[in-house]
Amino acid sequence: MNLRYLLLMLALVLSGACMESMNIRNQADRLSMALDQYGADLRWGRYNQAYVYHINHDGVRPEVNLERLEDFSVTSFTPSGPVLNADATEAVVPIEIKYYEKQYAMLRTLKETQKWWFDAKTKSWFVESDFPFLK
């Protein structure tokens, strides 16, 4: 009887560990999908939709003149090597954005690091960093 109880407890502990591992993997996958969608929104000029991702933990959004962005065209958005914290609720993501100003047709590159965070209520990732400043 004691051995049976011990095996049951061991099974419960292992299943809990597996669930936590699956939860972290799920959140990492959600981050990857959010980065893909965010990049697509920037590349296709859907700046309003990309702006939706920008919100901090307090619910405050950065002020951005989205009309000014109509003068720019993003040609690529490349996130490289996101670093997640242990419970996959925050990530630091180095990004590179290649874009050009339509008036001058000069290709430029913006490199910066964005801080992303996971909202457990909505099961969504958001960017706490400012909206990329294209100049």
- What does the pLDDT look like over 64-87, one tens digit per residue? 999 999 999 999 999 998 999 988
pLDDT digits (tens, 9 = 90+) for 5-58: 655 555 555 455 444 555 667 888 999 999 999 999 999 999 999 999 999 988
pLDDT in the model for residue 19: 47
pLDDT in the model for residue 125: 96
pLDDT in the model for residue 5: 61
Domains and CATH numbers, the chain: 2-127 (3.10.450.50)
pLDDT in the model for residue 6: 56
Quick check: 42 and 74 in contact, CB under 8 A? yes
pLDDT in the model for residue 11: 53
End-to-end CA distance of the chain: 72
